[in-house]
């Protein structure tokens, strides 16, 4: 794992991994705009590129902070005539939902891409690889870069391990699930920035770590779980404040302009608990099976992981106060807190496995071990559990999903249970 490799070969591997990401997405047929959250991401990006913040927030119909559209808007501004289209057609068959209750919704999205209108609209709505969809490779770049920062901060950089981690992230199903299935490139960016924040915190570049975590939260709210873990493992209150305050400043700077022009839409997007017209529906998770309104389920799914992560953080603080925690326990703490999201999740979607799967891989590579544990968990959840889910009773699926979530949580807790690395550092934190 730590065998030195010339930089030219490592960089070649990184470039090939990014190319491979697009190849896999291409092989999967690209993202279907009628079956994903694509337009709730790409339309706000185009609106920001035009300077229309109000429209951007109103078009954010899924619970996303504005981070990904903000970061991608300059790219779309520059490449607007080439890769800036917010809509695209594809050659996939019309979804079966067109014949069911969702017919009106899907037709409203897919009609410009229907066979009858394809000829007329394709000059305006290009295929996915000539639109914003192809720019999701930049989200994979952020994920890869953040994971490498964390690996190097753990003292495992510069060798075969970096190349192995790049290839592992490439074949991790969640990376392309997040684009081809659900179009959530913001999740890739969030995990990447969170990894970078943890790595920078290990180097005691605390302000930079806070900025990275602020960007991670702006991309997706679950990054707060990783932030709690890193703040809890910091060696002192000065370090904690130098991480938490810049993170809060970055989030405020990113959100405030949207709140000023569209306060209600901004709150709905940030809270991730707003539902409209949803009745009681049971889904195959522990929280999903509860006989309570969907609004309550979402509140439980969003609030309980944060509360549990804070509890873990308090224990970590009490146990290792004024001491520097080693890289493996920090990665373990981040993994455990991210796994809490799965424990309390309200439903099962394939891209939900991305964050935990990526951290399991990073943990194994930080330990300089073949990622067998991570690979086993990823395969069993992504291919075993998702195969069982539509064929088994809801309760059985919920139990299996909970066991898988608890297994990842246990893996993280075992990793962070190691002794603190050294007494309190005398060196001042760096920017």
Average pLDDT of the residues in 415-423 = 60
Q: Is 110 left (phi over 0), alpha (psi -120 to 50) or beta?
A: alpha
Shared-domain flag, residues 184 and 125: no
- Predicted confidence (pLDDT) per residue in 93-126, tens digit: 555 545 565 555 555 555 555 555 555 544 567 8
Shared-domain flag, residues 245 and 375: yes
Q: How sure is the predictor about 416, in pLDDT bands with cuts at 50, 70 and 90?
A: confident
Domain count, the chain: 2
Beta bridge partners of 205: 430
Percent above pLDDT 90 for the chain: 60
Shared-domain flag, residues 263 and 316: yes
Shared-domain flag, residues 49 and 194: no
Shared-domain flag, residues 141 and 67: no
Closest alpha carbon to 173 in 41, 12, 301, 356: 356
How much is the pLDDT for 417? 80
Domain limit, last residue, from 104, 134, 164:
134
- What residue numbers bound the domain in which 199 lies? 135-423
Residue 25 within a domain: no
Shared-domain flag, residues 194 and 118: no
How much is the pLDDT for 108? 54
Domain limit, last residue, from 134, 163, 191:
134
Q: How sure is the predictor about 424, in pLDDT bands with cuts at 50, 70 and 90?
A: very low
Residue 401 within a domain: yes
Shared-domain flag, residues 117 and 144: no
CB 269 within 8 A of CB 60: yes
Average pLDDT of the residues in 389-409 = 93
Domain limit, last residue, from 134, 152, 177:
134
- Predicted confidence (pLDDT) per residue in 225-234, tens digit: 999 999 999 8
Shared-domain flag, residues 264 and 368: yes
Residue 429 within a domain: no
Closest alpha carbon to 366 in 148, 145, 140, 143: 148
Least confident of 27-31, 276-280, 335-339, 382-386: 276-280
- Predicted confidence (pLDDT) per residue in 44-90, tens digit: 999 999 999 999 998 888 889 999 999 999 999 998 878 888 888 76
């Amino acid at each position: 794992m730590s065998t030195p490799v010339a930089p030219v070969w490592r960089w070649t591997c990184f470039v090939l991994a990014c190319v491979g990401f697009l190849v896999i997405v291409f092989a999967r047929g690209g993202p279907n705009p009628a079956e994903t959250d694509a337009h709730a991401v790409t339309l706000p990006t185009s609106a920001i590129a035009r300077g229309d913040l109000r429209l951007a927030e109103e078009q954010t119909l899924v619970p996303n902070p504005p981070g990904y559209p903000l970061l991608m808007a300059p790219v779309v501004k520059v490449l607007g005539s080439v890769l800036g289209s917010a809509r695209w057609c594809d050659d996939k068959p019309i979804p079966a939902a067109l014949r069911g209750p969702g017919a009106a919704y899907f037709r409203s999205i897919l009609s410009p891409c229907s066979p009858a209108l394809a000829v007329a609209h394709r000059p305006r709505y290009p295929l996915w690889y000539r639109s914003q969809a192809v720019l999701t490779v930049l989200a994979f770049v952020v994920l890869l870069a953040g994971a490498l920062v964390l690996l190097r901060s753990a003292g495992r950089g510069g060798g075969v391990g970096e190349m192995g981690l790049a290839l592992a992230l490439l074949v991790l199903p969640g990376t392309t699930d997040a684009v081809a299935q659900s179009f959530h490139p913001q999740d890739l960016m969030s995990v990447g920035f969170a990894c970078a924040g943890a790595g920078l915190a290990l180097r005691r570049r605390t302000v930079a770590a806070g900025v990275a975590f602020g960007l991670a939260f702006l991309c997706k709210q679950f990054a707060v779980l990783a932030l709690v873990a890193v703040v809890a493992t910091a060696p002192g209150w000065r370090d904690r404040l130098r991480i938490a305050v810049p993170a809060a400043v970055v989030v405020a700077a990113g959100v405030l302009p949207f709140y000023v022009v569209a306060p209600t839409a901004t709150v709905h997007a940030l809270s991730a608990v707003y539902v409209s017209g949803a009745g009681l529906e049971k889904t195959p998770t522990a929280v999903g099976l509860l006989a309570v309104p969907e609004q309550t389920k979402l509140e439980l799914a969003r609030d309980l992981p944060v509360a549990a992560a804070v509890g873990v953080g308090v224990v970590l603080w009490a146990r290792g106060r004024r001491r520097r925690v080693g890289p493996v326990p920090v990665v373990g703490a981040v993994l455990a807190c991210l796994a809490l999201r799965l424990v309390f999740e309200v439903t099962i979607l394939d891209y939900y496995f991305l964050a935990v799967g990526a951290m399991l891989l990073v943990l194994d590579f930080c330990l300089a071990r073949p990622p067998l544990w991570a690979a086993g968990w990823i395969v069993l959840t992504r291919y075993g559990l998702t195969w069982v889910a539509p064929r088994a009773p809801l309760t059985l699926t919920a139990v299996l999903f909970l066991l898988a979530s608890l297994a990842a949580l246990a893996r993280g807790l075992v990793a962070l249970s190691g002794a603190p690395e050294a007494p309190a550092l005398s060196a001042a934190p760096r920017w």
